Amino acid sequence: MSSEDSRLADGEAPWIDSHCHLDMLPGWGKGEGDGVGPDDATCASEIDDLVARARAAGVGRMIAASCRPDEVPGLLHLLDRVPVLWSAFGLHPHEARDWGPQVEDLLLRALAHPKAVAVGECGLDYHYDHSPRDLQQVAFAAQLRLATRLDKPVVIHTRLAEEDTLRILDEVGVPPRGGVLHCFTGTLAMAQAAVARGLHVSFSGIATFPKAADLREVAAWVPLDRILVETDAPFLAPPPYRGKRNEPAWVVRVLEVLAEVRGMSMRDLGLAAARNTERLYRIA
Ligand SMILES: [Zn+2]
Ligand SMILES: [Zn+2]
């Protein structure tokens, strides 16, 4: 890949970070209002700076994901404040023990926002097992049904739980609007099973880690109309930023590395991933 073919014109910012988290920004939770949102002035200037840095790197749009009920008011606030931000709302498998009518009600209200584009993240995480597996499965199945009911795509987090993830998807049904396996770290067989079910596959900075050769092979296989890229910021900063707080601007590193393994220009991959994100989430 030459740097030539990826150079952006002044002000051009076509790339999209399809999955990040913003609740770790300094100042979040220190606001006067409900006490959980980014009302604080520090947070407001942090988010503006973060958006400006992303834009300077060519990343003009971003999709945030929520994991916990206490993030919801803050994210709704940001959706109104930041034009280039959209969001998914869901209950992370780590928090699945909290699933119930109250949480579902909160998500329903959040998902009524015009910039709420998906249900999630939800799914199964058998690596950490922060919630019992049976409750993770209940919350995942319920959120798949919610996505179908609301005619939205679903953002799926799955870790060391491929078999149960596919079983539940088949039992409950993939929402008609589809979805994405986000921050994919699974096997080629899992990526193939996801694509066969109409799902997208999204790669994060993990795919850029030196030891992730197998994952890069999976990324090279995923059909061009099904691939997404993300940072999952503030986690998983790609080299050379390891150890720092990750942010949407650095999705460029993911694009660079994946373009190389796919033997295409970063520009072509970035535009394809952006088109896929626009289509999946119906964002302009
Ligand atoms: Zn996740
Ligand atoms: Zn995430």
CA of 182 to the centre of ligand 1 (A): 6
Model confidence at 31: pLDDT above 60: no
For the chain, what is the mean pLDDT? 93
| Ligand 1 mean position, distance from CA 7 (Å) | 31
Residue 225 counted as domain residue: yes
Q: Among all ligands shown, which has an atom nearest to the Cα of 183?
A: 1
Ligand 2 is an ion; residues with CB less than 5 A from it: 65, 232
Listed ranges 44-48, 76-80, 211-215; the one with the highest mean pLDDT: 211-215
Q: What is the CB neighbour count within 10 angstroms for residue 33?
A: 12
Measured from the Cβ of residue 69, the count of other Cβ atoms closer than 10 Å reads 17
- Say which ligand is closest to the CA of 93: 1
Question: If pLDDT is split at 50, 70 and 90, which confidence band does 5 have?
Answer: low
Model confidence, pTM: 0.95
CA angle 218, 53, 231 (to 5 degrees): 20
User: Quick check: is 236 in a domain?
Assistant: yes
CATH number at residue 226: 3.20.20.140
Range of the domain at 218: 11-281
Query: Is position 5 within any domain?
Result: no
Residues of the chain with pLDDT > 70, as a percent, come to 95
- Domain membership of residue 63 (yes or no) is yes
Asked if residue 234 has a cis previous peptide bond (ω within 30° of 0), the answer is yes
Ligand minimally distant from the alpha carbon of residue 127: 1
DSSP 8-class letter at 237: P
Looking at the structure of the chain, the number of domains it has is 1
> In this predicted structure, which of 31-45, 101-115, 236-250 has the lowest mean pLDDT?
31-45
Asked, for residue 4, whether it belongs to a domain, the answer is no
Q: Tell whether the model's pLDDT for residue 33 goes beyond 60.
A: no
Q: Which ligand is nearest to the CA of 184?
A: 1
Task: Say if residue 274's pLDDT is above 70.
Answer: yes
- In a domain, residue 1? The reply is no
| Residue 232 Cα to ligand 2 middle (Å) | 5
**Taking a C-beta distance cutoff of 8 angstroms, is the pair 270, 256 a contact?**
no
The answer as to whether 3 is a domain residue is no
Write the CA distances from 107 to 65, 95, 98, 236, 267, integer angstroms: 12, 14, 13, 27, 36
Establish how many alpha carbons lie within 13 A of residue 50's alpha carbon, considering only the half-sphere containing its beta carbon.
28
199 is a domain residue: yes
Q: Residues with Cβ < 8 Å from 139, sequence gap 6 or more?
A: 91, 93, 96, 99, 122, 131
164-186 pLDDT per residue, tens: 999 999 999 999 999 999 999 99
Instruction: Quote the ligand 2 centre to 90 CA distance (angstroms).
Output: 11
